[in-house]
Amino acid sequence: MSEKSLNRRDFLLRLSALGALTAGSGSLLAACGGGQQQPGGETGAAETPATATAGCNDLSGLSEADRAQSQQMRQSLQYVDESPVEGKVCSNCALWIEPEPGAACGGCTLIKGPISPNGYCTSWAPRQA
Ligand code: SF4
């Protein structure tokens, strides 16, 4: 046998090993979700920005317990999406949480779920300078 034939046999062995590896990688990728990323980022959560007309009362992203607590807090603190008090809105409240980039609704340290920047509740407090 010449050195050339050994090299060819070696090459074919490596080629078959490579084929086995690439065939296996397909199933590995499938097990990992195919390496595809869902639109909207890595969280996979439906984080579509709320529009101004939709308001910030969609609590469907909360667990059942959190939703019940949020509804109770919204009622007891008389939360509304549009503040009836001039100069007092959620976005200038000390308890306000800024919205995620691209989102219309922010949050509140007291009330779970989306909160309107123009909203208001009876726990409004001025921000400290
Ligand atoms: S405490 Fe009330 S006014 Fe302040 S951010 Fe929360 S919901 Fe808005």
Q: Which amino acid is at 111?
A: I
Q: What is the mean pLDDT of residues 112-118?
A: 97
User: In the chain, what are the domain boundaries?
Assistant: 56-129
Which residues does ligand 1 sit against, CB inside 6 Å?
77, 79, 90, 93, 95-96, 108, 110-111, 115, 119-121, 123-124
Element (H, E) at 108: strand 107-108
Ligand 1 atom showing the smallest separation from residue 79 Cα: 7
Q: What is the mean pLDDT of residues 28-54?
A: 37
Ligand 1 atom showing the smallest separation from residue 106 Cα: 5
76 falls in which pLDDT band (50, 70, 90)? very high
Predicted confidence (pLDDT) at residue 128 exceeds the cutoff of 90: no
Predicted confidence (pLDDT) at residue 58 exceeds the cutoff of 70: yes
Q: What is the mean pLDDT of residues 68-73?
A: 97
In this prediction, residue 115 carries a pLDDT of 98
Ligand 1 atom showing the smallest separation from residue 124 Cα: 3
CATH 4.10.490.10 is right for the domain spanning 56-129: yes
The percent of residues in the chain predicted with pLDDT above 70, rounded, is 58
Distance from the alpha carbon of residue 44 to the mean position of ligand 1, in angstroms? 28
Q: How is 60-98 classified by DSSP, letter by letter?
A: TTS-HHHHHHHHHHHHHTT-BSS-SSTT--GGGBTTEEP
59 falls in which pLDDT band (50, 70, 90)? very high
Q: Whose CA is nearest to atom 2 of ligand 1?
A: 121
In this prediction, residue 48 carries a pLDDT of 40
Q: Whose CA is nearest to atom 8 of ligand 1?
A: 90
pLDDT, the chain, mean? 73
